[in-house]
A = this chain, B = another copy of it.
Amino acid sequence: MRVPEFKIMSDPVHGFVSVPHGLLYDLVQTPEVQRLRRIRQLGVGYLVFPGAEHSRFGHALGAMALTRDALRELMDKGTPISHDEIEGTMAAALLHDVGHGPFSHTLERDLIPGFAHEDMSRVVMDRLRERFPGRLDLAIKIFDNAYERPFFHQLISSQIDMDRLDYLRRDAFYTGVSEGVVGVNRIIKTMLVSPVEGGPDSRIAIQAKGAYAVENFIVARRLMYWQVYLHRAVIAGDHILRSIFRRVRVLGSDAPDASPNLMFFLQRDVDPTQIADPDVYRHYCDLDDTDILVSLKTWKHAADPILADLSRRFIDRDFLRVEFKSEETSVAEQDQLREATENWMRQRSLLVPETNLPDPSYYLTFGHSSHEAYVPKGMQIAIVDRAGDLHELSEIPEMTAIAALSVPITKHYVFAPKDLTYPSGSSI
């Protein structure tokens, strides 16, 4: 029997995922990619949607698999694509989010202020390039959008890229939010490169018959944002976690022990410019959700009452409350809530040891979430008609709703203790 060309992996979302032996399989086996198994795709989302315990590893494989499907479709429609281009685009898809840290987006800016995971993905790619000399150059060019055929980059990063198609399908699957299901296959089957020659002007376009599936994708994505990613309880979990990290930073050297890798980041102020530093890199690549959770389990026994309380709340899923409001909270109400929160903290002896006073900022936040379902700047999603002409999705006459969906929606909220008694008796 010939050595099979693929490693077959079972994937409940897409069925089987085939990983070609060679560069792609070797990349999957790197510690950097294996680490994604220890980073939850939806951060604290699993505490709200019990099924959503899936990691970034499955998403990386899925985005790579959809990329292969899309490339095959483009070739079927007449665009010549070389083996190297296939491998490069798939590698870029596999690695596009490899720089994510613990709990994905939640702590992104709390561990390293000013950090962006995309920059870290790029650093990881550079390191892997050293280990696979000459074999990742094209992948990085495509990732950087520096390759002469830009449509490969569009599969990796655009408003209808394989990243989005996979994560929506996957997150809908694991959360059980069936209406988030997107017609991934139909969208891919209506993709082509236009003009087909594949020169510098050519780009990914969707055949007109796929426009409704694209509209549905945009609406489903919007639904997933408000129903899942920005769910009230998810925001509450995010805030608790971020309050905990703020508190630990304030405690400084008084902070209790954390896991060794987390300690590294808490004991110094790593700067986004330092992420390629070997020491930072090594500790970052060893850091994942488990460091956070183990540390929280230690911190819930901390001497500091605020750190202990917040850590216990996160571990035991005893969340605070997030309430959406139609408009920004007025200054007067903010003051009332601050006072109420201080009283609430006093009753529970949640006082800052140095001052013996409550600091409500750990328990009370006025924030907002905002989301733009579609940003029709330039030619974001191109629809190609039967004559071969391209039109921006929002300009198709029957896609009138797209313009309406392009209005960013902002929702204000208050994050506060659940059992707060208001001085005025007003309710949030």
- Listed in ascending order, the chain A residues whose CB lies under 8 Å from chain B are 1-2, 4-6, 8-13, 15-16, 29-31, 34, 37-38, 46-47, 49-51, 53-55, 57-58, 61, 76-78, 173-179, 181-183, 185-186, 189, 192, 196, 212-213, 215-217, 219-220, 222-223, 226-227, 257, 259-261, 286, 288-291, 293-294, 297-298, 315-318, 326, 388, 397-398, 400-401, 403-405, 407, 409, 411
Residues of B within 8 A of A409 (CB): 397-398, 400
Q: Kindly state the separation between the CA atoms of A173 and B54 in the bound complex, as whole angstroms.
A: 13
Q: When the two chains form their complex, are residues B215 and A219 in contact, meaning their CB atoms are under 8 A apart? A: yes
Q: When the two chains form their complex, are residues B50 and A9 in contact, meaning their CB atoms are under 8 A apart? A: yes
Q: Kindly state the separation between the CA atoms of A50 and B54 in the bound complex, as whole angstroms.
A: 9
With CB as the reference atom, state the residue of chain B lying closest to A78: B2
CB distance from A104 to the nearest CB of B (A): 14
Q: When the two chains form their complex, are residues B38 and A293 in contact, meaning their CB atoms are under 8 A apart? A: yes
Kindly name the residue among A10, A189, A226 whose own CB sees the greatest number of chain B CB atoms within 10 A. Answer: A10
Residues of B within 8 A of A260 (CB): 257, 297-298
- Of the candidates B16, B50, B217, the one whose C-beta lies within 8 Å of that of A185 is B16
With CB as the reference atom, state the residue of chain B lying closest to A373: B401
With CB as the reference atom, state the residue of chain B lying closest to A38: B293
Question: Could you list some 27 contacts between A and B, CB below 8 A?
Answer: A2-B77, A2-B78, A10-B49, A10-B177, A12-B51, A15-B176, A16-B189, A50-B58, A50-B61, A178-B181, A178-B183, A178-B185, A179-B182, A179-B183, A179-B186, A212-B223, A212-B226, A213-B227, A216-B219, A259-B259, A259-B294, A259-B297, A260-B297, A286-B297, A294-B294, A326-B397, A401-B405
With CB as the reference atom, state the residue of chain B lying closest to A286: B297
- Tallying the copies of this chain within the complex gives 4
Residues of B within 8 A of A15 (CB): 176, 185
Q: When the two chains form their complex, are residues B29 and A317 in contact, meaning their CB atoms are under 8 A apart? A: yes
- Of the candidates B76, B189, B326, B400, the one whose C-beta lies within 8 Å of that of A407 is B400
With CB as the reference atom, state the residue of chain B lying closest to A55: B53
Q: Kindly state the separation between the CA atoms of A5 and B76 in the bound complex, as whole angstroms.
A: 7
Kindly name the residue among A179, A227, A290, A318 whose own CB sees the greatest number of chain B CB atoms within 10 A. Answer: A179
CB distance from A26 to the nearest CB of B (A): 12
Q: Kindly state the separation between the CA atoms of A50 and B60 in the bound complex, as whole angstroms.
A: 11
Query: With A5-B76, A219-B219, A293-B290 in contact, is A176–B11 under 8 Å at CB?
Result: yes
Question: Which A-B residue pairs are the 6 nearest by beta carbons?
Answer: A2-B78, A179-B183, A404-B404, A12-B176, A290-B290, A10-B176
Residues of B within 8 A of A220 (CB): 179, 216
Extra 9 A-B pairs, beta carbons < 8 Å, given A178-B186, A216-B223: A8-B189, A10-B177, A12-B173, A29-B316, A179-B182, A179-B217, A212-B222, A400-B409, A401-B401
CB distance from A344 to the nearest CB of B (A): 20
CB distance from A172 to the nearest CB of B (A): 9
Residues of B within 8 A of A196 (CB): 1-2
Q: Kindly state the separation between the CA atoms of A189 and B13 in the bound complex, as whole angstroms.
A: 18
Query: With A16-B189, A293-B38, A401-B404 in contact, is A216–B179 under 8 Å at CB?
Result: yes
Q: Kindly state the separation between the CA atoms of A234 and B261 in the bound complex, as whole angstroms.
A: 28
Query: With A259-B294, A315-B34, A407-B400 in contact, is A54–B57 under 8 Å at CB?
Result: no
Kindly name the residue among A50, A219, A317, A404 whose own CB sees the greatest number of chain B CB atoms within 10 A. Answer: A50
Q: Kindly state the separation between the CA atoms of A226 and B216 in the bound complex, as whole angstroms.
A: 12
Residues of B within 8 A of A6 (CB): 76
